Amino acid sequence: MNERVIKSDDVEIATEAFGDPSHQPVLLIMGFMASMLWWPEAFYRQLAAQNFHVIRYDNRDTGLSTFYEPGSPPYTMDDMAEDTMRVLDGYEIDSAQLVGMSMGGMIAQIAAIKHLGRVRTLTLISTTPVGMDTSALPQASSAYMEHAAEGEIIDWSDHSQVIDFIVKDTRMIAGTAHPYDEARARDLVEHDVKRARNFISATNHFALGAGADWTGKLADLEMPLLVIHGPADPIFPIELGSSLVTLMRPPRPD
């Protein structure tokens, strides 16, 4: 494993790389309030074993990367898309396959729009399209929204409250295909909270804007696309994943 902090334009991005640097690079981009620890070790090590150079990193306001005072983040998802390029530049990589989950999928879409020649493929997991009005599509479940509202009343400086809240979150998004392992989830959450330079800053992700207007831009992306979306997703219902395919692979006229 190669650990590296990428420093660029007053931003520090903590990264880890696995596998042979001569192999095809894969950049893993995680979602809301989640550091790179949320990419399972077995997953990225399996990728590395299949001859990929795998890089994961802490988004701003998570883990060991740059953090800001909570409440009014001085950046947008547009800036976070630029962070993906900072990471590639830091490893002297011209282009890579991008894998984004949740907000990370939105970041990956913006990065691909802005830096078309540097994104070889897009894998988008449990996410939603950028630049599209999704108000007519199913939204997050009422049960999940009730849970999310609890985040407004907990004391984010109290690690025990924060850990309990996030563990509950993992239970709600775990799906039904496999048994939920609460002990494993709690261990991950505790590690993430304790490792962070200032975990409360991760709440800035709730206040992020998308940056520029990306309306209609997804149709311009022609790189290979894989959309992975569970049918029981309580945050981004599967119709949002289906809309990604429709937008990025519109039917061609005969």
- For the segment 146-166, what is each residue's pLDDT rounded down to a tens digit? 999 999 999 999 999 999 999
Q: List the CATH code of the domain at 2-135+201-248.
A: 3.40.50.1820
**182-203 mean pLDDT:** 97
Q: Please, are residues 105 and 120 in contact by the beta-carbon 8 Å criterion? A: no
Mean pLDDT of the chain: 94
pLDDT of residue 213: 85
Q: Please, are residues 15 and 5 in contact by the beta-carbon 8 Å criterion? A: yes
More confident residue, 72 or 171: 171
CA 170, CA 186: separation in Å to the nearest integer? 9
Phi first, then psi, for residue 71 (nearest 5°) are: 125, -40
pLDDT of residue 251: 61
pLDDT of residue 253: 56
* Domains of the chain by residue range: 2-135+201-248
**185-214 mean pLDDT:** 92
Please state whether the predicted TM-score (pTM) of the whole model is above 0.85: yes
Residue 67 has a CB neighbour count (10 Å cut-off) of 21
Quote the percentage of the chain above a pLDDT of 70: 98
**Which amino acid is residue 25, in one-letter code?**
P
| Concatenated DSSP letters of the chain | -EEEEEEETTEEEEEEEES-TTSEEEEEE--TT--GGGS-HHHHHHHHHTTEEEEEEPPTTSTTS----TTS-S--HHHHHHHHHHHHHHTT-S-EEEEEETHHHHHHHHHHHHTGGGEEEEEEES---SS---TTS--S-HHHHHHHHHTTTS-TT-HHHHHHHHHHHHHHTS-SSS---HHHHHHHHHHHHHHSSSGGGGGGGGG----S--TT-GGG--S-EEEE--TT-SSS-HHHHHHHHHHHSPPPP-
Contacts of 126 (CB under 8 A, 6+ apart): 31, 101, 102, 105, 228, 229, 230, 233, 235, 236, 241
> Is residue 219 over pLDDT 70?
yes
**8-16 mean pLDDT:** 96
| The two three-digit tokens of residue 6, written as one number | 């990428």
Query: Residue 144 — pLDDT band, cuts 50, 70, 90?
Result: very high
**163-187 mean pLDDT:** 95
pLDDT of residue 214: 87
> Is residue 89 over pLDDT 70?
yes
pLDDT of residue 254: 52
**8-27 mean pLDDT:** 96
> Is residue 77 over pLDDT 60?
yes
> Is residue 176 over pLDDT 90?
no
